[in-house]
Structures are given as C-alpha cells and as structure tokens.
Structure 1
Amino acid sequence: MVAFHASALDGVARNPALPTPLLLRLLASSGGGPPRHVLQRAGLPEQAVAMIVTHPNPGARIDFATSARAEPAQRARLADDPSPKVRAALAYGPEWRDPRTVVMPLPDGVCARLLDDPDPSVRAALLDSPHLVPSFLASLAAHHDPAARRSAARAWRILAPDERSALPADPDPVVRRAAALWECRRDARVTAELLRDPKSAAEALRHGLLRRADAERCVAERTHPAAPAENPSLPADLVERLAVDPDEAVRLAVSLRPELDETRRMAIDFTVGDLDRGDGVRWVREGLADPEVLRRAAASAHPLLQRAAARSPHLPPDLLRLLARAEDPVVENLLSIHHPDTPEEVLMRVYARLGGTFSAWMAETHPRFPREGLAARYANHPDGNYRRLAVRDPAATPGLIERLSHDPEVWTRQAAAGDPRLPPRRLREVLHVPELASSAGANPALPQDEMAAVLDRAGVPA
C-alpha cells in the first residue's frame, strides 16, 4: 500500500481547483477542525460560509474570523457567536496579511455591537484593532465606556470642536491624558502639565509644544535624552547642542529632523544600524502618501530617510528609480515588499540575497517579478534557489517540470510538484512523498478523484 502523508490534506485545502462538494466535506469535519487553509480561502460560496459560522469547533470559527480574504459581511455573521474567544478574534481582525493587501473593516454597526459586548475581552480586542476606520473611532468620543473615549483620541484630527473640548475635561484620568497628548501639540501649557507626569513625559517631550524654559530644563536633566531631539518645537540652539550630544541615539534623532537641509543633516555624526528599517521616522511614516514628504525623504542621503520612504506604495516613478539605485539592501527589501512597480533587477537581487520562504513568496506574489525566459536562464543553474525559478516560466515544458521534481534541492522539487504541467503519473507519485505531498495536493491539475482519495485516507468523513 502506498504511504499517505497528512500534509497532502493541507495541500488539497489550499488547492484553487478544489470542487465545492469536497470543500464542504472538509468543512463538515469536526474533531481537530478543518485545515486552516480551507477556512481562509478567498471567495468561499454561501454554503461554505454557512457551515463555518455554525461549525462546532470554535477554533474553526476563529480562523474564519481572522481571515484577511473573507468579506467583512461574511465575518460579521460571527458577531453573535456563543464563544467570547470567537467574538474577540472577530473584533480584532486579521493579525497577519500581505502588506500589499488592504483589510476591509467590519461595518460600523457590527463594531458598535462588539463594543457593547458583555465580555470585556471582546471590547478590548475591538479597541486594540488596527483595522478601525477614523470615522468610527471619532464616533466614540461620547461613549459610556472610558476605554472607548480614550480610543476616540486616536481620531483627534477629525473630531468636532466640542468633542476636542470635552475629552481633555473627561472624568476619567486616562481619557484626559490621551486627549492631552494630542492637545499638547498646540498648547505649551498642556505640555508643561504632561511633563510632570512620568507616564506621559516622554511622549509630550517628543510631540508637545515646548516653552523655552521647559525645553532647557528637559535637555539639561536628560531624563529622556532622545525625546526632545525629535520635538518640532525645540529651539534651534538646543537642536544644535543635541547635534553634538555624546549619546549616539540623540545625535541620530537630531539627524532625522525634517527641517534640516542636507548639508546640516549629513554633517551630524550619526550611525545607522544595518537592519534599522526607519519605522520610527514619524514625519515620513505619517506622510507616505504625501508627494512632498516622499521627495524630501527619498532624495536625502540619510539611509533611514531613504528606508522610511521605501515603505510607500505611492512613490512616483522618478523617486522609485532613485531608491532602486541606492545600493542599500534594506531599501531594496522594503521596495520589494511595498511597491508594485519595483524594477525587476531589484526584485532579482532581493531574491538572490534572501532566498528561502520570503523569496518564494515574493516570486509568487509580486506583479513585476519576471517569468519569461527563466527556464533558459536558470534550469541548469548550480544554485537550486535559482533552478526553482525555471518552473515560473510559461515556456517550461512538462519534461523540464518533471526533471525539476527530482531536483536535489527541496525548494525546487516543491515548486515543480505544485505546477499543473507536471505529468499526471509523476503528480500521483509526489503526492505520496513526505516533503512534496503538500505541494502536490495544492496542484490545480490534481484530478478530483485523487483529491477525494486524499480526504478518504485522512479519515475525513464522506
């Protein structure tokens, strides 16, 4: 008897050609629950959604609640789920997703119901969610729950004037602090008050409007030495003092200030870590759709500003070309993740440098990753990481795909096992090879009777 490997079932669950009857059969299985891949497929039919939201295994419902591919209205059907863990998973939403994919938020009415959920973990998950739209957050300014009112401060820029006035006077001290941390950006008196509170002093030092005396005192005391270096209202002479501070982190923070010209910026003695992605450059992070911000950052010689700009999918063509020539591996990595028009030569350098799972993901998902001509260039390459690229070529023959399914490198064998040009006889063989079974199960050319046989051998009830 031919051995069966459980990973084949995982592959079948991912198979884009999985017929609806087998999909429903997988969903009907209980016990350990259906494979996660089948629960987080895109475009699930209504029959499948109906089975998932009533599945007896709460883990299955949680996997669906956190699917980035499901329609918001489909996930919203779990808002009244009997399990608070499921409702909390729904409230928070997907934790991981392709950076190029936008997660559609739940409807406001569903968010409001989850915010009034009787279980505190559900309410907390909703307020912690990164997927809430600013208009919904703003609607919480007068909510009865102080935690909701505190979250409303995140939408400070779009709050109505009366709401901006009410939150700093809120009866809850945490709400007042959250509002004050926004209000302090234009009110030096509020900043001075926050500086006396250890819980808010560092953030107030970074963003608050500083009086001269407060700025001098905080720079001299060095309680949070790098925080004032980021503050846009710090007097120019104190900026110059911090530019030669003995603390390397302080000098780096000064070098990232937006008002500096290039000559002054690059005269500062700063050091950038090889892996620092520039996530902390707030003025660039908040301006990733602003052409002027992107131009100032991308055209700078400062590596962290270039890296911060490389996270933007909105780079105009000239700035994209400029960053593509930066010869900075981190910039290239970020472009390949975030920008749909990253040049092919950059994508290939990233592919060669990183290899492994990331390169496979990029090769499969990036719209500009090359396809034509790869078989001729790489089918006989000494590096298996390149040989698997030959499988991507539309001109690759079934004979070449079969040959690559015997390749010494497992990544190459797996790529070939998942290709629909693999001859049927070989496809049936690799379905029973442990390291290839998952790829073969996901092969869209796998006959339906073979998919059904995988379910049979895995003990999935008919």
Structure 2
Amino acid sequence: MVAFHASALDGVAANPALPTPLLLRLLTFDGGGHGPPRRALQRAALPEPAIAAILAHPLQRARIDFAMSAGARPAERARLVDDPSPKVRAALAYGPEWPDPRTPVAPLPDAVCARLLDDPDPSVRTALLESPYLTPAFVASLATHGEPEARRIAVREWEALPAGERSALSVDPDPEVRRAAALWECRRDVRLTTELLRDPKAAARALRYGLLTFADAERCIAERTHLASLAENPSLPADLVERLATDPDEAVRLAVSLRPELDEPQRMAIDFTVGDHARGDVEWVRHGLTDPEVLRRAATSAHPLLRRTAAQSPHLPSDLLRRLARTEDPVVENLLSIHHPDTPQEILMRVFARLGGTFSAWMAQTHPRFPRHGLAARYADHPDGNYRRLAVRDPAATSELIERLSHDPEVWTRQAAASDPRLPLGRLREALHVPELASSAGANPALPEEEMTAVVDRADVSA
C-alpha cells in the first residue's frame, strides 16, 4: 500500500483541479523525510500562499525542487537567494534541469545573479557560471569581476565588450582568461593566431577560428595537425580549401563540405559521408536560425547536415517547412517535430510510430498540431498499444471506449485512459487502487475533491 499511496499522491499533486487547501497540505508534507511530491513543488502559476509554504519548508529537498522549477517565474525562484542552504542557492543559480525545448527559460534578474556570484559558498558561484540561462548583459558585466572564472566566462560576449575591457582581458593575470581572450581576438589578428598554434591547449580552436597566414596553414596541412578544425577556418585560402576537399581523411572532407562560402555544386562535388543518425550542428546555420537567407540556403541544400540544422529552427517559413517535410530523412522529421509548431500532422504521426515510448507520448500531448479528431475510429482496435492510446486523444471518444481502454493490455494505454476526464467515475475510483494506474487517476481533472482528499488523508498528510 505504501507504493500505491505514493503513486496516487504524485498524481493528485499534478492534478489541474487540485483545490488550494489540498495543495497547501501537500506542500507542508514531510514525506518521510523526502518532502512534498515534486509535481506539487514544480506546478506552474502557484498561488502566493503555496510559494510562501515552499520557501519556509524545513526540508532542503523541497526548496531545491522549487529552485529548479521550469514552471515558476524567475522572480518567484529568486526569493530563495538568501536561503540558508548553499545547495538550495546552487540549485537556484543553475536553474531548471529539464525545460521544455519549445519554451525558452526566462533567466533570473541580473541583480539576483550578481548576488549569487558573490555568494560565500564556492559551489553557488560555480553553479551560476555553469548556468545556460544567463543574460548576455550579465555575462558581459563579468569582464571586470574579481574572480578569474567569471572573467573567463565574460569572454563569451567578446564583441559586445568595450575596447578597454577587451584589452584588459588580453593581459589578464590569469592564464586561462588570457587564453580565452586570445582565442576570440585571434579571429582578426594573424600574429596572435601564430602564437596560439604553439599552445597545445589552444591550437585546435585557433586553427578553426583564427586569422591564418598562408605559411601556417600550409605547415599544418603538411604536418596533418588538427586538419578537421583547419578545414572549417573562415580565412583558409581557396586553393587550400580545394586541397582539403580531396583529403584522404573523411572527417576533413566532411568539414570542408560544410563551409558557408561553397555553392551547392561545389559542396556536393565533395566525397563525404553523413551518418544516418548524425543530428546536425553546423555552426553558421545554427547561428542563423532566425535569418531567412541562411535558412533558405540550408533547407534547400542537398547536404543532410545543413538540412538537419535548419530543421531545428521554429522560424522556418511555410515553403521551407514543406520542403524539409518531404526529404524523407528521419532525423529531419524528428527535429521538426520537436522545434516547429506547424510541423505537418503526417510527419508527427511518422515520428510517433518510429520512436514510440516517452518521446512519442510527450509529443502527442504537447505538440499543437498533433492530430486529435478521428483517432478513436482509426486506432481504438489497432494491434499496437502505442497506437491504441491515441484513441484517448479523440474528442469524440465515448466514455465506454475510454473505460474499455483503461483495461487495455498495454500499460501506457491504460494510463492514458485513467487520466481522461471521460472515464466513468466508478472506474476512476477503482483505478486509484491499481498501482500502475494510481498516478494517472490521481491526476485526472474529473477526480472529485473528496477523492483527492481521501488520497491525501490515506498518505497521512497532515491537515
């Protein structure tokens, strides 16, 4: 019964119809030392009394879960900036762990980040500097910070820094900061690039981005030094690009094939191979995912990695979206289904069929274009349970069908039916007592308040 209570309670914690008094009871729950259910702590749009209860919760684990909530607003999470536990402050500093890829995480206010960066505990400072959710303005502000690691992070915003700050970072007393600054400045400084080529820690990156002399480039080709990096260098002379395009190393030829200045005939004349599952992360395309011209060049290319990178843009115009949808590339289809809100329904269905499991369930539940109408007639009796659960999504599905599917041999289908508000109340109450269905039933918005209260009572959550 302990596992059953825990599972049902977890579902009730996520129930959109959960009344505030019950939510407050859950948020003050000790949970045998584990704290309240995470799904209660990370609900979106928590009322003020709930936030206050979390901030004052005696268990560190509860405050950590809220600090890393993607559902909470930054100003709400920021109220943990003075939490007595450095683990809570570190969780706040880093930010949400598993955000929805379609919903950018709003960063903490810069003033809060500044306080966390001056935190007396080094783990908090480290967590902040490792966070992917810092604003560019805050990162740039670190250029004059007292900590070397902060100044090194500031180099990421090199082009936005005033000339004086760039000069200071270039002669910084810390060697890692100087190296990071040099690796940015070498893009327009031949002498600096030559110096960095003698630094084993910097040579590969300098070859990839630095402004090269012809002699340095030829020497690296002769010595076969980091050739795949060299093949990407924007300043590489055209005749050396042509030489590397026929290099015996396949990775070098592939790198050349991705250069932005090549036209389509030049690109496709190179003998390169792309793995069936290579995701595509072409830097000049990735940096241009909002640029119509870059997207058009990449999406209309015959190069799979250019198309796959373009497929990660939610800004593709309709004609390019249709074109990519016709490529019959599973990786392109997968990426479109994650990133583009207007991905055609037939693509979404193919991805659903191909990937199954948790990803397909997430996509079916969250993608705005995933089909709903007609699914009951098509899939209620499908031999694959992965498809039978789709019948639950159909607005026309009857309560009788939902009840039938709640007894389906496939557990995912049973769980989908148990969470559907059309499930007859008798079966919904029964599902609360079935361990693998209890969480889904607890989250069902049709669950009466008295049943939610009974679940909370049975779990010994104090009133």
Once residues 69 and 192 of structure 1 are traced to their aligned partners in structure 2, the CA distance between those partners, rounded to angstroms, is 49
* 1:200-225 Cα distance to aligned partner (Å, 9 max, x none): 11111111111111111112212312
* Equivalent residues of 1:8, 1:438 under 8 A apart: yes
**2:197 alignment counterpart:** 195
* Equivalent residues of 1:275, 1:330 under 8 A apart: yes
The one-letter code of the counterpart of 1:285 is R
Quote the offset at 1:90 in angstroms.
0.6
Instruction: Check if 1:300 corresponds to 2:339.
Output: no
Instruction: Check if 1:409 corresponds to 2:410.
Output: yes
Residues 239-388 of structure 1: matches in 2 within 5 Å? 239-279=241-281, 281-388=282-389
Once residues 407 and 129 of structure 1 are traced to their aligned partners in structure 2, the CA distance between those partners, rounded to angstroms, is 43
Quote the offset at 1:329 in angstroms.
0.3
* Equivalent residues of 1:295, 1:319 under 8 A apart: yes
Change (3 A) 1:79 1:2: closer
Quote the offset at 1:154 in angstroms.
0.8
The one-letter code of the counterpart of 1:214 is D
**1:47 alignment counterpart:** 49
2:239 to 212, 237, 240: 237
* 1:98-152 Cα distance to aligned partner (Å, 9 max, x none): 1001111000100000011111111111111110011111111111211111111
Quote the offset at 1:53 in angstroms.
1.3
Once residues 456 and 360 of structure 1 are traced to their aligned partners in structure 2, the CA distance between those partners, rounded to angstroms, is 31
Once residues 292 and 49 of structure 1 are traced to their aligned partners in structure 2, the CA distance between those partners, rounded to angstroms, is 46
Residues 118-133 of structure 1: matches in 2 within 5 Å? 118-133=120-135
The one-letter code of the counterpart of 2:283 is R
**2:19 alignment counterpart:** 19
* Equivalent residues of 2:3, 2:435 under 8 A apart: no
Change (3 A) 1:3 1:160: closer
Once residues 6 and 167 of structure 1 are traced to their aligned partners in structure 2, the CA distance between those partners, rounded to angstroms, is 54
Once residues 2 and 221 of structure 2 are traced to their aligned partners in structure 1, the CA distance between those partners, rounded to angstroms, is 73
Aligned-partner SS, 2:143: coil
Quote the offset at 1:85 in angstroms.
0.9
**2:99 alignment counterpart:** 97
CA RMSD in angstroms comes to 1.3
Quote the offset at 1:381 in angstroms.
1.6
Once residues 224 and 438 of structure 2 are traced to their aligned partners in structure 1, the CA distance between those partners, rounded to angstroms, is 59
**1:165 alignment counterpart:** 167
Once residues 270 and 35 of structure 1 are traced to their aligned partners in structure 2, the CA distance between those partners, rounded to angstroms, is 51
Report the more deviating stretch, 359-368 or 369-378: 369-378
Once residues 294 and 221 of structure 2 are traced to their aligned partners in structure 1, the CA distance between those partners, rounded to angstroms, is 28
Instruction: Check if 1:449 corresponds to 2:450.
Output: yes
Residues 136-151 of structure 1: matches in 2 within 5 Å? 136-151=138-153
Quote the offset at 1:187 in angstroms.
1.2
* Equivalent residues of 1:206, 1:231 under 8 A apart: yes
Moved over 3 A (4+): 1-5
Aligned length: 461
The one-letter code of the counterpart of 2:362 is W
* 1:230-287 Cα distance to aligned partner (Å, 9 max, x none): 11111111111111111111111111111111111111111111111012x1111111
* 1:137-187 Cα distance to aligned partner (Å, 9 max, x none): 111111121111111111112112222222112222111111111111111
Residues 29-44 of structure 1: matches in 2 within 5 Å? 29-30=29-30, 31-44=33-46
Aligned-partner SS, 2:284: helix
The one-letter code of the counterpart of 1:397 is T
* Equivalent residues of 2:399, 2:423 under 8 A apart: yes
**1:107 alignment counterpart:** 109
**1:391 alignment counterpart:** 392
Aligned-partner SS, 2:231: helix
Change (3 A) 1:424 1:330: same
**1:225 alignment counterpart:** 227
Quote the offset at 1:432 in angstroms.
0.9
Aligned-partner SS, 1:461: coil
* Equivalent residues of 1:5, 1:433 under 8 A apart: no
Once residues 341 and 158 of structure 1 are traced to their aligned partners in structure 2, the CA distance between those partners, rounded to angstroms, is 35
Quote the offset at 1:47 in angstroms.
0.7
Structure 2: stretches of 5+ with no match in the other structure: none
Aligned-partner SS, 1:67: coil
* Equivalent residues of 1:2, 1:432 under 8 A apart: no
Quote the offset at 1:95 in angstroms.
2.0
Once residues 12 and 3 of structure 1 are traced to their aligned partners in structure 2, the CA distance between those partners, rounded to angstroms, is 14
Scaled by the length of structure 2, the TM-score of the pair is 0.97
The one-letter code of the counterpart of 2:382 is H
Aligned-partner SS, 1:382: coil
**1:432 alignment counterpart:** 433
* 1:367-402 Cα distance to aligned partner (Å, 9 max, x none): 011111111221122221111111111111111111
The one-letter code of the counterpart of 1:380 is D
Report the more deviating stretch, 69-78 or 3-12: 3-12
* Equivalent residues of 1:53, 1:61 under 8 A apart: yes
The one-letter code of the counterpart of 2:279 is R
* Equivalent residues of 1:40, 1:68 under 8 A apart: yes
1:81 to 44, 60, 83: 83
Structure 1: stretches of 5+ with no match in the other structure: none
**1:154 alignment counterpart:** 156
The one-letter code of the counterpart of 1:336 is S
Q: Identity of counterpart residues, as a percentage?
A: 80
